[in-house]
Each structure stands twice: as structure tokens, then as C-alpha cells.
Amino acid sequence: MKKQQIPLVFLLLLACLLISTSCDQSLSSFGVLKITIGEPAQPKSLNEEPDGVDLSIQTYTITLTKGEETITIGPLSKEAGASVVIDALSAGNWTLRVAGKNSGGTTIAEIEGGSLSIAVQRGRASEVVAKIVPSSGSGTLSLSMMINGAYDQLTEPKIAVTFTDADGTEQQSQSYAIPASGLENQQIHLPARWYQASVQLIDGEAVLSTQLFFPRIVAGATTTRTVTFEIP
Amino acid sequence: MRQKRILHLFLIVLSLVLLFSGCTEYGSQPWGKLEVRFLMSAQKAVYSPSIDLDIASYQIVLDSGTETKTYALQAQTAFVVEGLIPGLWSIAVTAYNGWNTETSEVSGQQVATLPKQADGTRSVQYNVRRGQVTTAALNLDPLNEGTGSLMLTVTWSDCSLILENPRLEIDIRGYNEHSGFYDDNSNYTRSLEIEDASDTYTTTLQNLVPGWYEIKTRLVVQNTEGDANLFYQRIDFARVAAQDTEGTIGTLHITDEMLVTGTIGWVFTEDMEQALQDLALSRDTTDNVLYTGITQKFSCSYESPTASYQWYVDGIPVADADEKTFSHVFTQGGTSRVLVAVKDGSVINGAELTVEVLPGYEIGAPGQAGGVIFFCDADDIYEWSYLEAAPEDLLDSPMPWSNIQDVLVGGTLDVIGTGAANTEKIIAQAGHVSSAALSCTQYVNAGYADWFLPSIEELILLIANNAEIAQTGSLYWSSTEATYRTAKVKSSEKNLNYTKSGYSKVYVRPIRSF
């Protein structure tokens, strides 16, 4: 062996040693870690409001009636109308109505109960706190439902929809048979207010899944919601 | 020829006859005729001048430039003048409030006349045509040359409901009855506090332009309960005339019965049932993975003193889960939906979080820090859920329990859940330099450095539930001090408790909780 080849042989041996050492470690001393970094799940709102309805009051129009007497005040800007004093009223029972209108001039709110009776006494100031709430009436929920997965495994699929208002009162309960194509735009008419809607996927007598959402029903408007059930 | 002359003569005579026939007609109607009509507002004022402004008679002057005719007639709306020479006639009319029946002459005061024309006169001109009726419709205005006065008196002496210090507000403004507009130049506004509780207030306005005035009078008083909301208000009209020496006098005599007005004051509160702001829910950790058997905490971001909460898991309400936060132990792996329904007033809203739940740790399974699970807190007794043993004994064990042998640590406990506290006490002992407890706290595995020396009951569990340790037959230190200079150990081989001198060298297996 030439003297010049000695370093080369030494390097080769060293390389082999390193390789064998590393192989030994990878196979025996160390494990394999697979890291998957997923996006943390984000909370989603379950509230559903009707599209294209401005429910922000911009002006008030106040109407007072007593017999054939009618006094109309307004439209007052929302700020000015927050506290109003009307004087020079004759004594007697007046009926107060308030129309709250949005920027488009559409009446969207009124006094809770529609009107308020106020007794005006001679020489006295009558005080009223009028609560303005969304206009009463009925609106529509357009409900669609889809089933993803093994629809064929279901024998008698149907959904049961229950609407409960904020007072906990069940307002309506309906059930629908579900075709394979799902349900599309079922029109459900409800009094205007917020609801908790419970949609249950039922097969025969068994409740397979329950989903909740919170639709807002506005008088004369339509709220749309699609519920999707996943069947493994 | 002669016959032709006779014919010409006949025609001439015929023409003359015809001519004179026309002259005969002309002779019977040689003049024009003028019909005059008067127009005058009949509106009455609430407060009138002292003089009578009702028209009783007219004086009419017709002037053709060469001839002047003057007529006096009792009030009537029209009359006809005949026999006027055709041509331009000037008409001037002055209305009076009196009529002398004996002399058939106008009398009293001038109350109206024609309006002033562009040339400064108060006369109008009409062209009277021969044989025709010329109609003149004349609008008379109240005489407005000069000024008048208005004295207004408000008295409330008969009002028993009024206490003291009433406030009187008077707004007077001129009103043009013809144009229908208010005259801003003749406005008078007065608002004054009657400090002496006087029951009468009188004001006199001088030099008013003759005409109509709107008077808005408002008396704001306190009622017997001290509320300043009792008032009288009305609008009257006054007429002010020129050349009225006494002026127009208006008196408002307010009585209790006239205080028939009230007020309504209200405040609108708005409940438009808008969606609850910032309603969301979150987990107490940012880990993307949940495990069964571990208590998970969720929190709702919406907070209100009037809000109520209900938590759901996979659409099923959880009993007694009605707080702003929610703790839950998932028992099954898979995808779960955690939902909170929040009711506030008439609004009910909700938010949902979908979580992936992995099968959790079980005894004998690998732990979070690369060790082995030997205890599960299934009854949710402790703040943690699992106890995990290190995968190996400490490399420098067997080792002594502590370098201090002649002083008790004191206060170390036996039970599960006390190993960590025991460890801290051992290390915190005065003069402490080295110990099995300290070595545990210095141990690091899989990045976790929260190890400690188990208490005796934790150690018993460890050996009972870990076959690998049980098979070693080794003795292991616990962190529970037994007696002076001794600490409890466990014989894995004989499954017996020992107390052994702290100087003895015994194996150490760190544990941790999570």
C-alpha cells in the first residue's frame, strides 16, 4: 500500500463506520415522529338572519289618537325621538302608536303590543315608557336539508323540526319524509322573533343526529337555512 | 235722364232716412254705463279694534278729467252708474263705517279704500264705451295708513290650581290675510317669568302696522303638586286698525276649566332583538386535539347579567350545563359538536365548535411525555386526569433518598395526588443539596420537565399497574417520609411496603400528572 493511499483508506473506513452507526441508531434507538399541524377548529355562529332586511331604526313616527282627534309627529330622527314630550293634549284616553322606520322608510318596528293607551289628565304630566320591538306579523323560514353519505342505509328517514322561542315555548313542530335528493326550500311560516330550531334526523324511531340553529324570523321576510347531515 | 235723377234722389233720401234712423237709436242711448262691484273679506277677528271696521257706506268719486261725479251709497256690493260720457274714467272708493240715513251721506270713520297703485294714487281707471256696460271689480283693503296699537291682558286670577311663579309666553306676529304669509317684520316674542305671582299681565304694543296679528299665548304654571306642566295655550287673531285712538284690546281670562291640557312625556326603549354581539365559544387550550377521558373546558364569550346559557354536545343538552363556562369529559372518540345557546331578553342565539376527539389514555398505554400511564382519574377527583411514569429509572439511581438524614422534612403525605407537593417539601428543606426528589425534578423526557417523586400510594399504583417495574424486583423510593432518617419504599418483588434508611441506595422512577 502506498503511503499516499493511507489517508484515503482511513477516510473510507471512517465513512463506513459512520454509516453503520447511523443505521443502527435509526433502526433501534430512535423512533419516528410524524407531526401533523392542523388548524384549530374555529367556532361558527349558528344565527341566521333574513337577507336584505335593514333592521336598524332610523326614524320614529308617532301617532296619537283620541276619538276623531289625530296628532302625528315625525318622522323624528332616532336620536331626537328617544325622548319626546308632547303637550297641549286634551284630557282623556289617547292611543299611542309608534312606527320605527329603517333608512328605506320601511316600518320595521312598533310599540310592543301595537299600541299603548295613555290617560292624559288635566294639568298632569303622563309618563310612558314605550318599548319598541320589531313589527309583529309572520315571516318565513326556507329550510333545506341534505344528507351526505349512505342514504341507502336508512330505511325510513325523516326529519323533525322544532322551534322554540326565547321564552322556552315550543312554537311549532313538524316532520318531513326525506327523499334521497334531500329537502329543498321547505317554507315554514312563523311569528316574527328569534327561535332555537332543532332539526333531528330520524330513521324509524331512532334519532340519528340532532342539529341546532337559531333563525330570526322577520315579518314579511324570508330567512334561509340549509342543514346537512353526515351519515358515516 | 229724368227718371235717373229721380232714382238718385230716391237713393239719397233713403240713405238719409237710414242715417237718421241710426241717429235716433244713438239719441236714445247716448252714454256709456259703469257697473261697480266691491269685494271685501268678511273675516272677523277675535280681538277687534275699538272702531267698527264693518263697512256701512261707500263714497265713490268718478272723474273723467272734465267731469267729476260723487256718489254716496249705503253698503251694498254693487251699483250701476249710467249716463257716463264715453271715455277714460278714474274711480276712487272710500268705505266708511257709518251711514247717515237722514242725509243719505256717508258718516263715521274711513275703514277701507282701494289699494295704493303704482302711481301712488288709490284710484283705478276704466274705459267707458258708448252703449256698453263696463264692469269694475274693486278690491278694497282696510285702511292701512298710519299705525295702530294692541293691548293684551292675560289674567288668571280665578285659577285656584296655580301656585306661584307662572311663566307667560306671548308670541305675536303679523299675518297677511291676502298672501297667507306671516310678516316676519312684525313679530313680537315675549317670554317672562311672573315673579310676583301676579294674576294679571298686561302689555301694549304701539305703532303696529294696521292689519291682522296672530297671538299665541301660553301660560305655564305649577300645579298644586309642584309640577310645572300645567298650562294654558291658545292662538287668537287680533285686528289692528289705523286711526284707532283706543287701539285693539285683547283680554284672556284664564280659569281652572280652561286648563284642560296635559302632557305626555315618554322614553322609547328599543329592543330590536339584534343578534348577541361577540357570541362565540372557545376551548381553554389551543391544542387541536382532544382526548377522551380528559376534562375539557369551554367558554362562551358573551356575557350579560341577564343572559342564560345552555350547553349541548352533539345536539343533546347537557344537564346542569348552564354557566358561561362548560367542562366536559368526552367518552368517545370522533368528531363532536359543542354548542352553546344563549338567551338574553327575547333573543336566543348560539355558536358551535366542532372538535376532533381522539381515543384517550388508558393504563399501560404510552403517555403524553413518552412514559406509561399507570392511573386514570375516571371519577374526576383530581385537577389532572392521568399519572404517567417515566419510561426508565433515573440513570443515576439507585441513590440515597436525601443528603439530609438527621432532620425530618415533615408534612409529606401518603395519598394519591401528593407526590408533587412532597417533592417540593423535600427539596425545600434547609441544607438540602441532593435527593431522589431533586433528581426527579431535573429529569426531562420528550420535552416534559414536570416530573416528581411519587407518594407512597402513587408508587403502589405505579408498581401495581406497570408490569415492567413489577418484574424488576427493585426497591423504589417514594416521596413519603416514614420516620426519622427513613423513607417508604416498595418492594416490587414481594409487594410489601418497607421503610428504609435514607442513606440506602434505592431506585427512582419519576412520575408526572396531566
pLDDT tens per residue across span B128-186: 888 788 888 787 877 777 888 999 998 888 777 665 667 788 888 886 655 555 665 56
Task: Search chain A and give the residue with CA nearest B257.
Answer: A122
From the list A41, A89, A212, the residue facing B339 with the nearest CB is: A212
Instruction: Using alpha carbons, select from B302, B297, B320 the residue that is nearest to residue B310.
Output: B320
What are phi and psi for residue B237, nearest 5 degrees?
A: -120, 135
From the list B227, B271, B272, the residue facing A124 with the nearest CB is: B227
Q: What is the pLDDT at residue B84? A: 84
pTM for this prediction: 0.49
d(CA A45, CA A215): 11
Q: What is the pLDDT at residue A6? A: 65
Residue A1 scores a pLDDT above 80:
no
CB contacts of A118 in chain B (<8 Å) are 264
pLDDT tens-digit series, residues A189-200: 999 999 999 999
For residue B234, give how far its alpha carbon lies from the nearest alpha carbon of chain A (Å): 9
d(CA B492, CA B462): 10
| Residue B322 DSSP label | -
Q: What is the pLDDT at residue B4? A: 66
Decide if B348 touches A, using CB distance below 8 A.
yes
Query: Residue A15: pLDDT band by 50, 70, 90 thresholds?
Result: low
Q: What is the pLDDT at residue B492? A: 60
Rounded to two decimals, the ipTM of the complex is 0.78
CA distances (Å), B384 to each of B356, B359, B378, B421, B500, in order? 21, 17, 10, 14, 30
Cell of A30: 430512535
Q: Do A82 and B268 touch (CB under 8 A)?
A: yes
Q: Do B266 and A200 touch (CB under 8 A)?
A: no
Q: Do A89 and B281 touch (CB under 8 A)?
A: no
CB contacts of B351 in chain A (<8 Å) are 43-46
Query: Residue A183: pLDDT band by 50, 70, 90 thresholds?
Result: confident
For residue A55, give how far its alpha carbon lies from the nearest alpha carbon of chain B (Å): 7
Cell of A181: 335528493
From the list B260, B262, B267, the residue facing A82 with the nearest CB is: B267
DSSP character string of B61-86: EEE-SS-EEEEEEES-SEEEEEEEPS
Q: Do A43 and B280 touch (CB under 8 A)?
A: yes
Residue A216 scores a pLDDT above 60:
yes
Q: Do A44 and B352 touch (CB under 8 A)?
A: yes
CB B341 within 8 A of CB B312: yes
Q: What is the pLDDT at residue A154? A: 87
Mutate to test the interface with B, among A29, A44, A101, A193 (most CBs of B within 10 A): A44
d(CA B180, CA B175): 7
CB contacts of B279 in chain A (<8 Å) are 45, 47
pLDDT tens-digit series, residues A151-166: 888 888 899 999 999 9
pLDDT tens-digit series, residues A165-177: 999 999 889 898 8
Decide if B431 touches A, using CB distance below 8 A.
no
Q: Do A86 and B355 touch (CB under 8 A)?
A: no
From the list B262, B273, B355, the residue facing A89 with the nearest CB is: B262
For residue A31, give how far its alpha carbon lies from the nearest alpha carbon of chain B (Å): 11
d(CA B399, CA B207): 120
CB contacts of A32 in chain B (<8 Å) are none
Task: Search chain A and give the residue with CA nearest B354.
Answer: A41
**Which range, A19-28, A63-72, B17-26, B32-41, has the best average confidence (pLDDT)?**
A63-72
Helix (H, G, I), strand (E, B) or coil at B65: coil
| Residue B484 DSSP label | T
Query: Residue A32: pLDDT band by 50, 70, 90 thresholds?
Result: very low
For residue A116, give how far its alpha carbon lies from the nearest alpha carbon of chain B (Å): 11
Q: Do A118 and B229 touch (CB under 8 A)?
A: no
CB contacts of A213 in chain B (<8 Å) are 350
Half-sphere exposure of A32 (CA within 13 A, CB side): 3
Decide if B322 touches A, using CB distance below 8 A.
no
Query: Residue A20: pLDDT band by 50, 70, 90 thresholds?
Result: very low
Decide if B257 touches A, using CB distance below 8 A.
no
Q: Do A56 and B161 touch (CB under 8 A)?
A: no
| Residues of chain B where predicted confidence (pLDDT) is lower than 70 | 1-4, 6-30, 38-45, 77, 161-165, 175-191, 193-198, 221-233, 257-263, 266, 286-289, 484-486, 490-497
Q: What is the pLDDT at residue A27? A: 37
